[in-house]
Every structure is written in C-alpha cells, then in structure tokens.
Structure 1
Amino acid sequence: MRTLITISFCIIFTIVKTYAQNISGVWHGIAKTSDNKEILFVFLFEKNQETYNSTMAVPTFNVAGIKPRATTFNSGKLIVDGSNIGIKYEGIFDETTQQIKGSYTEGGNVLTLILKKGNPEMAKINRPQEPIKPYPYYEEQVIFENAEAGIKLSGTFTKPNEKGKYPVVILISGSGRHDRDGAIPTHKPFLVLSDYLTRKGIAVLRYDDRGFGESTGDFNTATTADFAKDVLSAVTYLKSRNDIDVKHIGLIGHSEGGIIAPMVANQTADISFIVTLAATGIPGNEVAVMQSKSLRPFLVPDEASFERNVREAIKIASSNEDISKKRNALTEHNNSYLAPILKSLGATDENISVLIEKETEAALKPWNKYFYNFNPANEFEKLSIPILSLNGSKDTQVNATINQNAIRNALIKGGNKNYKVIELDNMNHLFQECKTGNINEYKDIEQTISPIALKEISNWILEIIQIK
C-alpha cells in the first residue's frame, strides 16, 4: 500500500509540474524543409495571468516582430494561433528533455519544429552595404493614417541634414508581409536603398505593411488595390510636411510594389515619376502559372497536364462564384490532381489532407482573386509621367524579357514619351549579382543590392528632377 501511494504521488507531482510549467521567456528551434534547408524560429512568450502573449521572429528570413493572434499553454500543450498571419504552431512540452516538440504550419507547408529554451547562437553575417548609425542624415520615425481603412501605418522618413525642400520617394514592397526595411532572407534591401538615395539628396519614406511590424490593419483580407490606398495615404502625409518638394514626389515599387506604383499614379496628380523594380507586366493569372513551374520544388511526370491543372485551379479561385461553392470545387480539384503528386513525394494521407486544405484556403484569399484578374499593362498604358523599369536577367520569380516586353508595349500604346526599360545582366529578383537567380541563393550572397542597380536608380531620378 505504501508503495502504491508513493508511486501515485510521484505521478501526480509529475503531472502537476508539467501542467504548471511556465514557458515564459525566449525559445528557439530549427525546422528543415523538404529540400533540407534550415529555418530558424524564435519565440518570446510572456505570461498574462492564465494566457500568454507571444512574439515570433524568423532570423533566417530577417523577419521579426510577428504577433500571433493568441497563445495558450494548457495541460502541457502549446498552441500558437497565428491565423491572423497565416501560421500555426502546436507542440507538447516534454518534461524529460525540457523541450516543446511540435509542428509549424504555414500555407500548405507543415514542418517539424522542436523548441528549446533560450536564445539561439547566431553566426555573424556580413552585410557591408547596411548602414551603421549614426547616419550622416536626418531620420525620423513617423506614423500616418489611412482614414478610409481606419488603420495607422508606421514608418521611417529620412532626408539630408540641411534645411530645405527635398524631392522624395515612397518605397513600396512586394507581395507578402514586409517591414519598412523590406526584410528578405538575411537582407534589408529597402534600408540599403533608402540610405543610398538619402545620401544622394533624395528624401525617402518607407513603412511597415499594414498588419505587420508596428502598422495596424488586417493584412490577410487586403488586396493589391488596398495596398495602393496605403501608398496614397503616404502621399497625403508627405504633402503635409514643410521639408518636401511636393512637385517631386516619386514612387519606387519592388515586385508587386511595381504594379502598385502605376495604380497610385493613375489615381492622383501628385506623383511626378516612377521606378519599378522586378515588376510584372502580364496578367496575374499568367504570372501565377509561370511561377508555379519555375519555383516548383519537385518534378512532375507530365508538364502539360500540370499546367492545365494549375490553370483550372486559378480559374476556380478567380471566379465570381459563391465562396462556399469555390471552396468545394477547389478542394475536389486539388484532391484529383495535387494529392497524387504529394503521395508520390512520400506525404502521408493525413498530411496530404492538411496540405490540400491549407492550399485551398490560401488560394481563396481576397488577394489572390484580385491578383489573378488584374492586368498591370492597363495601368502602365495610362501613365504619362516618366518611368524607369528595371528587371534582372536571372530573376526566376519574374521573367525579365516577357514582363518588360509587356510593360514597354503598354507604354508605347499609351503614348508615353519619357520611359526607360533596362534589363540588368546577371541580377536576380532582389537585384543582387548572382550565379543562378534561385531563391535559395539570396541569403548566401553578401551583396544586398548591386551598386550598378543603385546607380541606375539614383542617376535616373536626379536627371528627371533636373529636366522637370
């Protein structure tokens, strides 16, 4: 009897200890992708009575300040609900190893992720182009409002130290959530670009995307048109300053930002010039088809069949049918063509079901429907202001030749007399001088933006300002 009581007490003590475990503090872990790439995740858990607040960072992609919707830790089970940003983490606390063993889900990807208490050991990465404070120019943290959307956007404004009214550019990020530095795998291209232009006498405003960093709003429900409204709010803010030359307000947009810029310029007379970086010029559905093939991490037995099925999925997602009907049709379609592919790659039935559900929901987001049905050539055609279009010859995300031909043709059709379209040799989507142009190569390149690209941008802007 004494032995049974002792054993029972030990079990109860262990259970209580596990359930009462306080996970407050920093935890980190490394997940491996299907192609054996490592991604470092860092979580900060802060206990708030019976619940937790969490902040997530992904140093591998140079992303920080992510705020999941809710975090719970009950009976040894941790759930980080990031439905507001399209992610989720579920794990079980292991009393023996003092680790949290679980899985991280984002979009259609499910990764095994084991969290350990404490800060990770970070190898120093050399990024010589990133400026070091104190800067030789004025920097100000600013907040401006998109009153129509009821959100506040937080950013950084820089200009030369000397008093005066300066020409200014607004930096517009590409697809996906980005902070004001345009942080992409271990690089901060907007920080580098902003620093370079400010030193050349051009003021710069860059800001966190809505619903990310210090900006408010819901990123998940926003479309390209909504992001254009955010830029218009930035224009209104700049016009309220007494250190800006309102006759010289320009836009620099990267990737999706490169199609947002013409949209904005066609909605206001306040924009005097545009620079597009890796912009698309063909319809969004065609961009999606091309990327599904160029960025796909696996082989398929029949390329023609794969493309037909991708086009059918896009057709369903971009239709005006009721969302429930589209969900059912897309789920059925994905099960018919995507499930066999995943099965051939070794995915379990359970994981296939989860992946297809995630893929279906991701495709049904408002951004996708808008993008699939949007043709940027229509906006480029309406531009009468000066425009510089730059693309990299080794860009695997946005084909330079196809998209620049479309942009050029649209500008000619619209009668624009002041444009320059340049394909930069051996540069990738980020305008790094590269070998392959593949996404996995970005983080391994020391250079953040090629000096050649930086010089093309600044020289063209300064020339345009003098002409005008």
Structure 2
Amino acid sequence: MKKIALLFIVLPLLLSAQQVEGEWFGSVKIAGRDFRLQFNIAKSGDSLRAEMISLDQGARATEADVVEYEGDSLMIGINKINLRYSGIFGGDSIKGTFSQGFLKVAMNLYREQRSAQTQRRPQEPQEPYPYISEMVTFRNGDVTLAGTLTLPRGGEARAAAVLVTGSGAQNRDEEIMGHRPFLVIADYLTRNGIAVLRYDDRGTAQSTGDFARATTLDFAEDARAAVKFLSNRGFEKIGVIGHSEGGTIAPIVAVEEPELDYIVLLAGTGVRGDSIVLMQSDLIAAAMGANVIQRGMNRAVNRTIYNKVLAGESREQIAQYLQKTAMMPADRAEQTAAQMTTSWYRTFLQYDPEPVLEKVTCRVLALNGEKDLQVPCKENLEAIDRALVKGGNRDYKIVALPGLNHLFQQCDKGLPQEYGTIEQTIAPEVLEIIRDFILFPTIL
C-alpha cells in the first residue's frame, strides 16, 4: 500500500498525546448494517500518526494522511476515501462523528479489545480438491501471466473456460473484501466437468508486466493469450467468463477469436464508460441517503469532470477544478486527478461496448443483479440486448437476478460496503445458470 505523508501537528502536551495513543474500536451503521472499525493511533516523533482497519471488509489497514489533536479534540482524515472522524477524547472513550461522502453519523470509540473474527466463507472449497489443480504460466508478448488451471479428474473436460477479472489489480481468485469469487466459480465448474483457467492480472501477484500503464484493451490481449493457451493444450468448446470489466473484455475476445464457443458476461457493460460512472455514483449516493439536491449537484460536477478528462485536460487542470468547484482538499484533489488522467481511466470513460457486441457471433449469457449499483442492471442488460439483436445474434440469454448485488450476492441495499459483511460469496443460482449454459447449449 502506498504510504501518504501525514500532516503532523506539534503537540504541546506530550502526556495528552500518550493518553490518546493505542487501539480504538467502534462501529458505524450503513444501510442497516454494522461495520466494525479499528483505529490505531501511535506516536511519531512529537506528533501522531493513525491508521484505520475495517474489520468486516478485509481487515487491511488504511493510513491516515491527516491527524490533528488539540486539547481533547481529535480529528483523523483519510482523503482518498473521503473519510473523517472527529471526536472528543475522554480517557477510555472518544465520543464523536464519522463522515464519509454524504454519510454523517455518530460513532464512539472505546479501548476495549475486540479481535477480528475470522470471516465465514462457507462456499470456499477446502483441500484436497476432487480435481487436478495445476499451476501454469503463459505469455502475451513480454508479459508472463501466472495462473491456475483446474481439470476434472479421471476424464476429459466437457468444456473449458477462461475467467477474466474486473477493474483494479486483481489476483487469480478476484479477491475482494475477504471473498474469492473466482475460486468459488472455478471449483463449482470443475466439479461439473469444466476445465477452468484463472490468472493474476498483469503486474499483480505472480504475473509480470506493468498494470499501471495498461488499459482495457491491453487486458483483452491478455485474455486472448489465455484462450490460445487452452487451445494449444487441446481443449475444445472454449469460452470466456468475465466479471465487470471482464464482462467488457469478453466480447472483444469473442470478436478477435471467432472460434470461441461462448462468452458469459457477469455484470458486463452495455453502455459507454462515462455513463456507467455517472449512474454508479448517483445510485450509490442515493443508497447512502443523499437528497435530491445533493444528487443533482453531484451529477453536475461529475459530468463536468468527465468531460474535462475526455477533452484531454491535464492532471493539474483537473486538480484545480476539483479544488475550486468540488471544494476538495488539495492533496485529495491531486490524488483524484492523478487517477482520472491515467490511460486506463481515459480509455474506460470513452469506451462504448455496443459496436463490439454487435459483432459477436458466438453464444452469449449476460447476467446482472437487480441491486447492482456499480453496473446498473436495467440500462446495461437492455443495451446488450439491443446490440446483439442489431448484430443478428439470436443465440443468447439475458437474465436479471432479483436481490443480487455487483458480486452476485444476496444483499440488502447493494452498497459496496456490504460486500465483506455478507457470508455468501456468490448466489448458488448464478453458478447453476452458468453451468447449464456452458454444458447444455440448446437450453436458452
């Protein structure tokens, strides 16, 4: 994790600083669910540093970049996730307020030790597996991709699948918030006679290459290399199963590799990238309690920012706009502008999947959860349907799944904050639909 420089405040009373040091625990309710938080405050020279751990979302520490302590008043800020905690120190407790984005709620911290419980993931398989699990590597130019190929034991595979992850640097299991969706999918399909190849994104885990400089189109070439690897191993009926950005990549591979038997789009996109992020931010804001006025202002600012990015404005220009119009602190504005002006982000905003979907001739299964706030269900499934019809493809199936979020979990609101608190990794019905689509192509 990249460390962010702290804004140190010199404290006149060292004793007071020592009193607030230590581990602090609290919980915040978001969309009806309690999320346990741990703040670790420590001395750093004559000042303080802090980190936050969301115990229900992977238990990874996030470094604070603002720590202020004056008298009995404490403020901890983590700009990259727009989080603030402000409270009054009272010996064995800190009484204060937690805020993130549109959310602002009371939250008290206590010194009581609460060990983070091991997250239950009942769907994750345990060794020994009833199939062969082989560590493999394959190449795309000068990039070496490392992965796992799972094979049915005692017989030939009835089909084969390549799993392609969503956005962000993902390992072969698409690990997120304590879940490993691709491990669960690969296990289920292989137990049902399907060979599955899943791999670490370039520049991630055991794969080489530069993730930071890559775009969706580069990741599509990696996926093509995975398909060719399976083909060279002698597999037939090869398909691509892509989640989120992987669901955008799968149609690209299908067009470039016409021998592909099928593609499965798990929350794949059907509309342009800038439309996706506008809908995404609005739906998440609404689920977090933003009112109509706040949402309208948020949409207007975001639309302007995306237009500036698409117009090719520089990182410095974007950062200045964020500071002046969005009233964003300078350090957070710089960080946000740096993310929004990468090659990947610019490509994502302007990428329209429709022309590619129109060219797909293989079988297509498109699934979306109706509570997906990241790739909204209705708009994207309808766009995928229109594109396939326009291109003359009649061999497809589109399914909207009630009650499921972006990870295809049964959920409450669909907020990303919920993912780690849900025991279920992926709804069993999703696994069954994928299996039946691959093995029984005449059933649509």
Interval of TM-score (by shorter of Structure 1 and Structure 2):
0.7 to 0.9
* Aligned counterparts of 2:413 and 2:316: Cα–Cα separation in 1: 39
CA 1:371–1:427 in structure 2 vs 1: closer, same or farther (change >3 Å)? same
1:11 alignment partner in structure 2: none
**Matched letter for residue 397 of structure 1:** Q
2:221 alignment partner in structure 1: 229
Is contact 1:318-1:368 (8 Å) kept?
Answer: no
Is contact 1:210-1:219 (8 Å) kept?
Answer: yes
* Aligned counterparts of 2:188 and 2:303: Cα–Cα separation in 1: 41
Is 1:386 matched up with 2:363? yes
Is 1:220 matched up with 2:204? no
Is 1:369 matched up with 2:346? yes
* Aligned counterparts of 1:230 and 1:401: Cα–Cα separation in 2: 30
CA 1:254–1:39 in structure 2 vs 1: closer, same or farther (change >3 Å)? farther
* Aligned counterparts of 2:343 and 2:77: Cα–Cα separation in 1: 24
Aligned to 2:325, what secondary structure does the other structure show?
Answer: helix
1:404 alignment partner in structure 2: 381
CA 1:437–1:338 in structure 2 vs 1: closer, same or farther (change >3 Å)? same
**Matched letter for residue 279 of structure 1:** G
**Matched letter for residue 136 of structure 1:** P
**Matched letter for residue 266 of structure 1:** V
* Aligned counterparts of 1:141 and 1:129: Cα–Cα separation in 2: 22
Is 1:290 matched up with 2:274? no
Cα deviation for residue 39 of structure 1 reads 6.2
Is 1:248 matched up with 2:242? no
Cα deviation for residue 358 of structure 1 reads 0.9
1:145 alignment partner in structure 2: 139
CA 1:377–1:158 in structure 2 vs 1: closer, same or farther (change >3 Å)? same
* Aligned counterparts of 1:440 and 1:409: Cα–Cα separation in 2: 32
* Aligned counterparts of 1:192 and 1:128: Cα–Cα separation in 2: 10
Is 1:299 matched up with 2:290? yes
Cα deviation for residue 177 of structure 1 reads 1.7
TM-score, normalised to structure 2, is 0.75
Is 1:177 matched up with 2:169? yes
* Aligned counterparts of 1:311 and 1:234: Cα–Cα separation in 2: 36
Cα displacement string for residues 296-344 of structure 1 (whole angstroms, at most 9, x for unaligned residues): 457374433331221110011122x3xxx522331232123211xx5xx
Cα deviation for residue 426 of structure 1 reads 1.2
* Aligned counterparts of 2:370 and 2:57: Cα–Cα separation in 1: 24
User: Would you say how many aligned residue pairs link Structure 1 and Structure 2?
Assistant: 371
Aligned to 2:383, what secondary structure does the other structure show?
Answer: helix
* Larger deviation, residues 415-424 vs 296-305: 296-305
Of 334, 337, 353, the residue aligned with 2:325 is 337
CA 1:402–1:155 in structure 2 vs 1: closer, same or farther (change >3 Å)? same
Cα deviation for residue 407 of structure 1 reads 0.3
Map residues 432-451 of structure 1 onto 2, 5 A cutoff.
Answer: 432-451=409-428
* Aligned counterparts of 1:31 and 1:156: Cα–Cα separation in 2: 39
Is contact 1:90-1:104 (8 Å) kept?
Answer: yes
* Aligned counterparts of 2:79 and 2:211: Cα–Cα separation in 1: 15
Aligned to 1:389, what secondary structure does the other structure show?
Answer: strand
* Aligned counterparts of 1:31 and 1:239: Cα–Cα separation in 2: 52
**Matched letter for residue 383 of structure 1:** V
* Aligned counterparts of 1:266 and 1:29: Cα–Cα separation in 2: 53
* Aligned counterparts of 1:298 and 1:336: Cα–Cα separation in 2: 25
Map residues 203-214 of structure 1 onto 2, 5 A cutoff.
Answer: 203-214=195-206
Is contact 1:31-1:111 (8 Å) kept?
Answer: no
Is 1:275 matched up with 2:252? no
CA 1:366–1:60 in structure 2 vs 1: closer, same or farther (change >3 Å)? farther
* Aligned counterparts of 1:281 and 1:426: Cα–Cα separation in 2: 21
Flag structure 2 segments of 5+ consecutive residues without an equivalent. 1-22, 41-52, 68-74, 86-113
* Larger deviation, residues 198-207 vs 124-133: 124-133
* Aligned counterparts of 1:288 and 1:406: Cα–Cα separation in 2: 16
* Aligned counterparts of 1:447 and 1:454: Cα–Cα separation in 2: 13
**Matched letter for residue 410 of structure 2:** E
Is 1:359 matched up with 2:336? yes
Cα deviation for residue 285 of structure 1 reads 0.6
Aligned to 1:123, what secondary structure does the other structure show?
Answer: coil
* Aligned counterparts of 1:386 and 1:155: Cα–Cα separation in 2: 25
* Aligned counterparts of 2:342 and 2:24: Cα–Cα separation in 1: 29
Cα deviation for residue 217 of structure 1 reads 1.5
Q: CA RMSD in A?
A: 3.3
* Aligned counterparts of 2:281 and 2:213: Cα–Cα separation in 1: 23
Aligned to 2:355, what secondary structure does the other structure show?
Answer: helix
Cα deviation for residue 208 of structure 1 reads 1.0
CA 1:111–1:192 in structure 2 vs 1: closer, same or farther (change >3 Å)? farther
**Matched letter for residue 436 of structure 1:** K
Aligned to 1:408, what secondary structure does the other structure show?
Answer: helix
* Aligned counterparts of 1:34 and 1:89: Cα–Cα separation in 2: 21
Aligned to 2:308, what secondary structure does the other structure show?
Answer: helix
* Larger deviation, residues 441-450 vs 260-269: 441-450
* Aligned counterparts of 1:332 and 1:440: Cα–Cα separation in 2: 30
Is contact 2:151-2:157 (8 Å) kept?
Answer: no
Map residues 73-222 of structure 1 onto 2, 5 A cutoff.
Answer: 107=80, 109=82, 121-147=115-141, 150-164=142-156, 166-222=158-214
Cα deviation for residue 433 of structure 1 reads 1.7
Flag structure 1 segments of 5+ consecutive residues without an equivalent. 1-27, 43-56, 67-86, 93-101, 113-119, 343-351
2:44 alignment partner in structure 1: none
**Matched letter for residue 399 of structure 1:** P
CA 1:233–1:441 in structure 2 vs 1: closer, same or farther (change >3 Å)? same
TM-score, normalised to structure 1, is 0.71
CA 1:293–1:165 in structure 2 vs 1: closer, same or farther (change >3 Å)? closer
Cα displacement string for residues 358-382 of structure 1 (whole angstroms, at most 9, x for unaligned residues): 1111111111100111011111111
Cα deviation for residue 259 of structure 1 reads 0.7
Cα displacement string for residues 253-273 of structure 1 (whole angstroms, at most 9, x for unaligned residues): 011110100011111223110
CA 1:183–1:276 in structure 2 vs 1: closer, same or farther (change >3 Å)? same
**Matched letter for residue 293 of structure 1:** D
